Amino acid sequence: MGKLDGKVAIVSGAASGIGRASAKLFAREGASVVATDRAQGVEETVREIHAAGGKAIALIGDTSDEGDVANWVATAISEFGGLDILYANAGVSSATEGFAPFLEQTPETWSTVLRINTIGPFLAIKHAAPAMIARGGGAIVCTASVAGIRYGAGPAHYSASKAGVMNLVSTAAQELFGTGVRVNGICPGLIETGMTKPIYDRARAKGTDDRIGQLNPLMRGGQPEEIAAAALFLVSSDASYVNGHCLVVDGGLSSSHPVAGRGKMPLATKA
């Protein structure tokens, strides 16, 4: 018996990284998965699910296009009979500017990042929730970020967009009061995905990859499968009383303000 036996799930951003890992894990736990992405790699995700004996279909589309999002929900209903789970995971760090200084960022890039990262999850919730209500309830998870908590984990437009996701989670949970639909979020720290590939590539080229994640107590970056495991918890009955919450999965990075002399305290005192 899988944790998601008999459930139908949509996972956006499923072509790679966290989305691919989550789609595969949900399918392995028994869900029928509608895997969506703008990139063709989502078809490879579905091939891997089929090879493992799972059920899934791939849809190409834009998470910030309302017509595409509505089609994802309609397809879940027509192909699998309904919708129980939504993981609104798709996101971008920046369309063109990357980590451009704040005063050099453009309204155009801000618009793109906010449209995909914040309006996208709103559209997903807007169209998924009615289908879940028709089934008597459901579970929605949105990918936010530690960058949405405070400064220091991403450029301004990305950080603002993820702070918006965090507020969207709590707001949507309240807007869906009494419907049986839970809405939660995940705030990943530094995870090795396509989005963070330049960081990892630069570190490996310089031979400093052992320093990736050095600012968190675990002293390492995370893997997509670790975020997928958190998402599985939130969409499963194990989290049946968790609602309106953003779960931080960052190795402990956001648990502290910067301090001097961290790590100097001995782990044990000799007699």
Catalytic residues: 158
Look at residues 115, 116, 114, 133 and name the one whose alpha carbon lies nearest to residue 172. 133
List all residues 6 or more positions away from 167 whose beta carbon is below 8 Å from its beta carbon.
none
Residue 143, CB half-sphere, CA atoms under 13 Å: how many?
29
Q: Please give the full DSSP string across 148-204, using - where no structure is assigned.
A: GTSSSSS-HHHHHHHHHHHHHHHHHHHHTTTTTEEEEEEEE-SB-STTTHHHHHHHH
Determine phi and psi for 142, rounding to 5 degrees. Answer: -120, 140
The dihedral region occupied by 264, where left means phi > 0, alpha psi between -120 and 50, and beta the remainder, is alpha
Rg of the chain on CA atoms, in Å: 19
